[in-house]
Chain A
Amino acid sequence: MTTTQTTAIPAIGEEAAIEIAKLNKWYGTFHVLRDIDLVVGRGERIVIAGPSGSGKSTLIRCINRLEEHQSGRIVVDGTELTNDLKNIDKVRSEVGMVFQHFNLFPHLTILENCTLAPIWVRKIPKREAEETAMHFLAKVKIPEQAHKYPGQLSGGQQQRVAIARALCMRPRIMLFDEPTSALDPEMIKEVLDTMIELAEDGMTMLCVTHEMGFAQAVAHRVIFMDQGQIVEQNTPKEFFNNPRSERTRLFLSQILGH
């Protein structure tokens, strides 16, 4: 795996895929996200790391409005997320999401999982949607499972289907919420390989993960969060070799220590 490392933060004026400014969110009285500022460039790949409860999942779930934010601005692909349902649906159909627990629809076949949203949201004819689905299922290397149900597949296969399902909507941005955390070690690699391939195609990616090898291989930028704040961000090389904050050093020593 070789990827060219670009500059950490996109230059001003470069077209941004996501702009987050002064984002704050509370669960009840608990302040989960505190003054988050983040600009994601087109084609940029960001890995978000941090201890559990640091708000990293909440942050990417705010980007497609699975979580509502209380103050600040989130602009995705030129559309600001407000209470306007039309804008929310527009952003959601442009942003693909992959969950920790796959969340495939168990009552539908793999193929139907992949064609549901294209047919009902994008209004693509069924045949065309099926062709697209088969294309992406081939890309994640499980076209032969198309007519099975999710319950018949292994965890790694299910997660690859989930990636294919998101790609079938032809999203401009992909969000990954700990995509390998629920998988057996043997299956993590097949999912990471799929994600690396996706990265090579130039997809804009935000990925919450503990896979530091993946971060080093793929990310342009690593963001470290703690207590709802961005504590440190840098290129993977600098982040891992030369962490600046004490909190980051502690975190890295704990996850890389054994």
Chain B
Amino acid sequence: MSETHSETAAPGRFAYVRETMLPPEPPPLAETGAIKWLRENLFSGPLNIALTFVGLGIVWLVVGTVGPWLSHSVWNAGSMAECRQIIAETWGEGAHGACFALLKHRWNQFLFGFYPQELYWRPVLAFGLLFLALAPVLFADSARARRIVLGLAIALTLAVSALLGAGAAALLAMAALMLGWAGLIETRRQWSLLASLAYPFVAVWLLWGGSLWGEAMAMAGFVLGYGVWLLLGARFGMLAFALAVVAAAAWWLLLSGPVASGLAGLVPLRLGPVSSDQFGGFVLSITIGVAGIALSLPLGVILALARRSDLPVIKVLAVTFIEFIRGVPLITLLFVASLLLNYFLPPGTNFDIILRVIIMVTLFASAYMAEVIRGGLAALPKGQYEAADALGLDYWKAQRLVVLPQALKISIPGIVSTFIGMFKDTTLVVFVGLFDPLKAMADTIRASFEWKGAYWEPYVFVGAIFFILCFGMSRYSMYLERRLKRDHR
């Protein structure tokens, strides 16, 4: 280098050679710390200064209104009238205050609806087991987070069950079940995924009760179908898939009933039955929400792939379905579920209303899900598809191993938004006569003489629970995005 320099540029006035490299130095003091932050974010110009004061004013107004209402709250009273009297006595006439005594008396109805009180442990256990079923999937590669979730789920389920009056024997059995399952998750993850697959059937049994054999035989139908697919899938492809569906359907329609009652006669594994009209409050919302979430994701993936398919028939079907469902309000679909389906079903069939609502909510959410996932699929560079093709991966393998993992990762924020939206939409079931926590339960409680006129308290309570659940989902999605970040930029 130096030779060329001396040859070409030495005599000129541009000649320059750096002798030493400069070390990095810390920035000036005024450019760091709280002062810099305040100046840059709150007082950077006249407009920002004005906005800062307007913002402070709004905060002052909100705190000034809500603050006293909360601080004047009454927790010990037997009715709204008593509440008002206590507030007037303590804080003077005209003072406002929350009457949270309502919650103290009626919290159980917001959470459990008309579910029999002595059976509250069953939904609690089902909810606790949900986390055990999800942990190996949601926290697959982070042992620490998974153990925290498992520990919390087990401890809280046992504590809540104990508070709700579960007996020592029942608590012991629950502890054994959950600890055993957690052990399985931590030692044999593959096997624990089978337990996760069995969870929906266990949850249905816990929630509705009756003979376990009904649910077990329903599950056996899936196992049978999967077995047929395993046996013939490699050779016959789509034909084997059709056969598997037929085999499972035949099992459910013809054999599962008699076999279940036969087995129930031999080994009666029964829980006291709870009918669907006893469901209400958050038990109902969470049942519909979780089922809808679990079913709408796979359905959404299939619809998104179908919409991008090269086969015109499949594409048209998917587009029609998605556009139709998205073009109709959810309430319309719920009315269809509650009224119209009865016309189409053979007379005498009793098709559970919650199941009908779950189907409609799932269809509704899956249409939105499909569009969210289609966005993720479209965002993948074409090169990814080409690389998968060039390596000889067939369509399904390319989708499963290369395309979907990336597309779903991109779509996480949209997917979780859809989940959250759907979960909150479960309150709309009030229109088909189910007892959602927000409207139907609150109205029911207000209908009693003592709590007439309690408007804000139920909304605050139900809103807070919805917020906790939705915020939890949102935080999880952010955690997952961080966790799956692979570009290291």
Chain B positions near chain A (C-beta within 8 angstroms): 381, 383-384, 386-394, 397, 401-402, 405-406, 409, 484, 486-489
Q: Taking A107-B486, A116-B401 as contacts, is the C-beta distance between A99 and B391 under 8 angstroms?
A: no
Q: Chain A contacts of B383 at CB under 8 A?
A: 99, 101-103
Does A169 interact with chain B (Cβ within 8 Å)? yes
Contacts A103-B383, A104-B387 aside, 20 further interface pairs with beta carbons under 8 A come to A64-B389, A85-B394, A89-B392, A92-B389, A92-B391, A99-B383, A102-B383, A105-B384, A106-B487, A107-B484, A116-B391, A117-B391, A120-B401, A121-B393, A151-B486, A151-B487, A152-B488, A165-B391, A169-B391, A169-B392
Q: How far is the CB of A77 from chain B (nearest CB, A)?
A: 13
Q: Chain B contacts of A117 at CB under 8 A?
A: 391-393
Q: How far is the CB of A110 from chain B (nearest CB, A)?
A: 12
Which 7 pairs across A and B sit closest by C-beta, in order of nearness?
A93-B392, A103-B387, A103-B383, A117-B391, A92-B392, A97-B390, A151-B487
Q: Taking A103-B384, A106-B487, A120-B401 as contacts, is the C-beta distance between A92 and B406 under 8 angstroms?
A: no
Residue in chain A with minimal CB distance to B386: A66
Partner of A106, one of B389, B397, B406: B406
Q: Chain B contacts of A103 at CB under 8 A?
A: 381, 383-384, 386-387
Q: CA of A149 to CA of B387 in the docked complex: distance in angstroms? A: 17
Within 8 A of B (CB), among A45-99: 64-66, 85, 89-90, 92-93, 95-97, 99
Contact A92 B488 (CB under 8 A): no
Interface size on A, residues (CB 8 A): 29
Q: Chain A contacts of B394 at CB under 8 A?
A: 85, 89
Q: How far is the CB of A121 from chain B (nearest CB, A)?
A: 5
Q: Taking A92-B391, A151-B486 as contacts, is the C-beta distance between A99 and B402 under 8 angstroms?
A: no
A-B pairs with CB below 8 Å: how many? Answer: 73
Q: Chain A contacts of B390 at CB under 8 A?
A: 64, 66, 92, 95-97, 99, 166
Q: CA of A184 to CA of B393 in the docked complex: distance in angstroms? A: 31
Q: Chain A contacts of B392 at CB under 8 A?
A: 89-90, 92-93, 117, 121, 169
Q: CA of A78 to CA of B299 in the docked complex: distance in angstroms? A: 41
Chain A 115-152 against B: per-residue CB contact (8 Å), 1 yes, 0 no?
Answer: 01100110000000000000000000000000001011
Residue in chain A with minimal CB distance to B406: A107
Residue in chain A with minimal CB distance to B383: A103
Q: CA of A114 to CA of B489 in the docked complex: distance in angstroms? A: 23
Q: CA of A85 to CA of B398 in the docked complex: distance in angstroms? A: 14
- What are 28 sample pairs from A and B whose C-beta atoms fall under 8 A apart? A66-B386, A66-B390, A89-B394, A95-B390, A97-B390, A103-B381, A103-B383, A103-B386, A103-B387, A105-B388, A105-B402, A106-B406, A106-B487, A107-B405, A107-B406, A107-B409, A107-B484, A116-B393, A116-B402, A117-B392, A117-B393, A121-B391, A149-B486, A149-B487, A149-B488, A151-B486, A166-B391, A169-B391
Q: CA of A149 to CA of B405 in the docked complex: distance in angstroms? A: 15
Q: How far is the CB of B309 from chain A (nearest CB, A)?
A: 15
Q: CA of A169 to CA of B388 in the docked complex: distance in angstroms? A: 13
Q: Chain A contacts of B486 at CB under 8 A?
A: 106-107, 149, 151
Q: How far is the CB of A69 from chain B (nearest CB, A)?
A: 16
**In the complex, which of the residues A99, A105, A116 has the most CB atoms of chain B within 10 Å of its own CB atom?**
A105
Q: Chain B contacts of A92 at CB under 8 A?
A: 389-392
Chain A 149-177 against B: per-residue CB contact (8 Å), 1 yes, 0 no?
Answer: 10110000000000001100100000000
Q: CA of A20 to CA of B409 in the docked complex: distance in angstroms? A: 41
Contact A66 B384 (CB under 8 A): no
Residue in chain A with minimal CB distance to B409: A107
Q: CA of A234 to CA of B393 in the docked complex: distance in angstroms? A: 36
Residue in chain B with minimal CB distance to A105: B402
Q: How far is the CB of B238 from chain A (nearest CB, A)?
A: 13
Residue in chain B with minimal CB distance to A109: B486
Q: Chain A contacts of B488 at CB under 8 A?
A: 149, 151-152
Residue in chain A with minimal CB distance to B405: A107
Q: Chain B contacts of A121 at CB under 8 A?
A: 391-393, 397
Q: CA of A106 to CA of B164 in the docked complex: distance in angstroms? A: 49
Q: How far is the CB of A68 from chain B (nearest CB, A)?
A: 11
Q: CA of A99 to CA of B409 in the docked complex: distance in angstroms? A: 24
Q: CA of A222 to CA of B406 in the docked complex: distance in angstroms? A: 39
Q: Taking A99-B383, A103-B383, A120-B397 as contacts, is the C-beta distance between A151 and B391 under 8 angstroms?
A: no
